[in-house]
Structure 1
Amino acid sequence: MPGKVLVCDGAMGTMLHAAGVALGQPLSALNTGRPSLVRDLHTAYLSAGANLIQTNTFDANRLKLADIGQGERVAEVNIAGARLAREAAQACGRSAFVAGSVGPVRGTARHRVARDDQAEMLREQIVALADWVDLLVLETFGEISAMAQAIEIALEACDLPIVAELTFERDGRTPRGEEPAEVAVALASYEVAAIGANCTVGPAVLQGVVAQMAGAVDLPIVVQPNAGAPQRLGDELRYAHNTKYFAGAAAELVAKGAAIVGGCCGTTPSHIRAITAAVRGLSPIREDRRAGARPSPARPYRPRESIASAPQVRWPTGDTPVIIAGLPLSRGPEVAEYVDAARAAAVAGAGLVAVIDADRQAPTVNPVSAAVLLNQRVGVDVLHQVEGAGRSMAALQADLLGAHAFGLRTVICRTGEVLQAGDYPQVASADEVDSTRLVGILAGLNDGVDWRGVPLPERTSFVIGALIDVTTADLNREVEKVAVKVETGAHFLLSDVVYEESGARNVLSALRLRGVEVPVLFALAPFHDAQIIARLTHEAPGARTSQTLGTTPPRDVVASALGLASALLADGAAGILVHGPASVDDRMTSIIKGLRDLCQGVK
């Protein structure tokens, strides 16, 4: 529509959620499951003034649909979505375009997707939509390279006009850190009809993004802001009801160079009605500027160098097993003693110090803070544990990136214990992270993507550990769980506390039989008292209680620990972790020195 600002529709997910649809499922499945609801939503946006509506197919790819057992219905779901939008457009009594919505194919923390597989999934969806829509909208991509891949696939698969929209964060850059002008130049090097920005942020941030994109190239600019940042109220997400503000922002966006304006998350037909009124009579200023002149070609885009490949990350291999001194987390006041204990262990021969949260119910220093403290004060490598219980993936990722920035590299992943306060344990929430998902988050960071599958500016180089339970009564089930963690990205395994050799030997045999080929370290706790031993061996669900194991600690903890360690090393242990006290202890020093001698004899 030359000379006019096109008005696009608003959010699908927000409106479907308001209608009672859970957001945890692919919303595109509603195209076949509840078609009248989807069609009515298109009609509502058309009635509000939209002259470009997008199919409810943003997540209609094989990866997402497979989550609900519909991975083989990609074509059916996409065609159904296009038909619903077309029916609504034809019934509205005026001209309206139907755009096929295609979002990025992103893996999860547990299931990452290879680039070639992403390409095939995008191609499958685009081919399904191509004969049923007027144009394609590739939207909410987080980096130039992912968008470039999608554009190339679309250009090969069809001859439709292509709109390419990346998403920008509050700093005005993509999640990968790319500037709007850089994005514009890159996308303009392809045969696309329009470029722009959508989702993640509201109009305030996108004003600057649109201005920079419009100043860099001569293509039409599309903008679809969110209503703002959502607020979680129970199971609901709520956005600001800001239609008057949105109307004013829409006019400003046109003044800065936008030719197509709509909404994304949190926007409703009311927002689109306000935008329609605000831009009525406005012409795209860029079109006025270009009247009578041929668009000048964009400057040649020079791709950024891809993220540098991280070095091969694995558990340190060498001629001798690794000795690790385990320290319980400090409760705060005894920091000096805590540092002294780590220093004494390092001097005695420990290759690493492990920060262990022995009692999560008690108030302690944050494990990352404790690990950074020891790393900086003692100059020793630190293995620190991370628990998923009670944490979201976003919060865990923030801690992990902070730990990496401070030089921490070795992590052991735990699901964590159920917290108890009052008369019943706290039940886990749906968004809590188990140890396998936690391994996946770390492996993703090493690959240069965050927990959402969004590319990061740099890769991390974490050495990832997972726990294995040697006391379990169902060893085969435990080994299968561990195998999944290794396939997900774990580089080494660490046992829970070992009190007898036979259980450890059985674990090593079962792992070899299953084909799990990663180093296995065993943990000893010579300083545990009778109460702790009883709790760990008799009170844990699913534990195999040894007939020979008593609840009395050994009288000579040094000799007992070294005897058990010697047997474990002979069985093939890659290292020994000794849980010790939080202060300097001569017996701990003797154990580490003895382990040093034992390990030097293992070749």
Structure 2
Amino acid sequence: MKPDLRQALEKEVLVGDGAMGTYLYQQGFPVGISYEELNLTSPEVIRNVHRQYIEAGARVIETNTFSANYDKLSKYGLESKVAEINRAGAMIAREAAGEQVYVVGAIGSIRAGRRRDLSSSELKRYFEQQLDVLLSEGVDGILLETFYDVEEIQLALKEMRRLSSLPVICQFAVEDVARTLDGYTMPEACRILSDEGADVIGFNCRTGPNGIKRALETLEGELNLPASVFPNAGIADYVDGEYRYGASPSYFGSTAVPFADLGARIIGGCCGTTPAHISEIAKALSGYTPVPLPKRDEAIPSRIVVQEPGSSDASRGDDLNQSPSLVDLVKERHTVIVELDPPRDLDITKFMKGAEALKKAGADALTLADNSLAVTRMSNMALGHLVQERVGLRPLIHIACRDRNLIGTQSHMMGFDALGIDHVLAVTGDPARFGDLPGASSVYDMTSFEIIRMIKQLNEGIAFSGKPLKQKAKFVVGAAFNPNVKHLDKAVQRLEKKIASGADYIMTQPVYDPELIVKLKEATAHLDIPIFIGIMPLASGRNAEYLHNEVPGIQLSDAVRERMAGLEGAEGRAMGVQIGQELLEVAMEHFNGIYLMTPFMFYEMSVQLMEHVWEKSGRPTPHLFH
């Protein structure tokens, strides 16, 4: 007989299971069905998934009941089967677990990050319906997972404590490690749950191991309970109509012991993970002896204080409308585009300071992403206008298909034309479900090919509807390209379609392999539009591993990862700049276009790389505006 779950967590680290929904998706079950209904219609399928995770080394498995609440099931006409589906889910998991594996009843957030009109009484009723059934079926504990705000998880925890004294695992889904959606710092939120009777507190979903580790680190010295971690297999990429996750099983295995050292006592996986990921975690933790949990400090962190918005005193620059386009410039000399992420706050002081520094260093354009990785940031239209007016630096604005329908996209483009912003980059955009507001809709009225064609249509004086406009726009439209693929020739074929749609220039994902830069030149030699090679300096060894393992479209060479391994702070940034300079020297031999991506607002790193470009090109820091 296995010991009580609480007793087990005092002495050892337990391996959790991996994803259910995304694993079923990989096996051919489509998006848009209730995976929980499979407890009734295909119990052998769910039982087999549980067994695969147990064979991989899982000691804690979750019932397939994450969304088996009245609200979620009602979307499929299954609201009358709440009890039946939860009961079947618990029975299947218990049958697969036998006597040695713990079964926890999984209950997910009902609000799921959305600001929905659901009363507390409704939420209590829905949680009670699930809890009653799961507890009656003899689970070893309850897992409250993927909650975004303290209010809802606290309500579910109170309902559980009213019904049972069994162990409860409470897990937040956090994208921003600093706070919950309702404004609590993570130490404060965890203190509240501890006081309410939580036995384990942790994190799952939303991000890969790197983001979960950062969240867990905020609790060092604050949490006197075991922690649990169930990260995603990196950030999902949407490729050819399918969601794909890039973090490998071996990478997951390498994160297990660091998680355990931080106090994690249950370590598993969430979206994108498979039995192979869990197997590597189990191997890494074999023979591991956990250290005693840290004592928490009694001081309760304060709520987040919002700073006053900043401003810039920079004067308006030269008239950009009279300067040559980037496409014209890059035909004449090395031309540098620098990316600086819009802030996720209302304070733009540091952003504007960075823009000014990059202008002085000779940047030919400042490019601003459109809520990259589906994380909410300040409007790149507003910031682009400020950069143009206050700093005198050309803005190059990303336009994502994700956020606006046809009406909104044309309206957006008309606004850019009115502001004199004429350089844009058309991108698909990461799915909203993987960002900081997962309840938001991903629109995708257009593909990246279609948005390029329709923006160029405005240049002909024709609206998206086909009706004539009174004047023509003057947009210079770029297309994104990822060369970090197995089959470069196929990627180039896709790129050719973007050029056929009207793309004027290409900007690539960051490249970290000099040989790939040479191959890319050879593979695109027949193209007659300029390519800007992406170079993003690495900020630390941890940053390198995160990018390689968790971010779609980025691949680091083994040599680069080895050079960055273990480096942090100024030392890590120095090595990152050095590697960037080496890549630039190769890139400059083959391409005039350089696209620098600034990591974590360390714009000084981009300044250093720009200075290297101008030094190697044999000319002083250029000034774009004549």
So what's the TM-score if we normalise by structure 2?
Answer: 0.48
Which protein shows a greater Rg?
Answer: 1
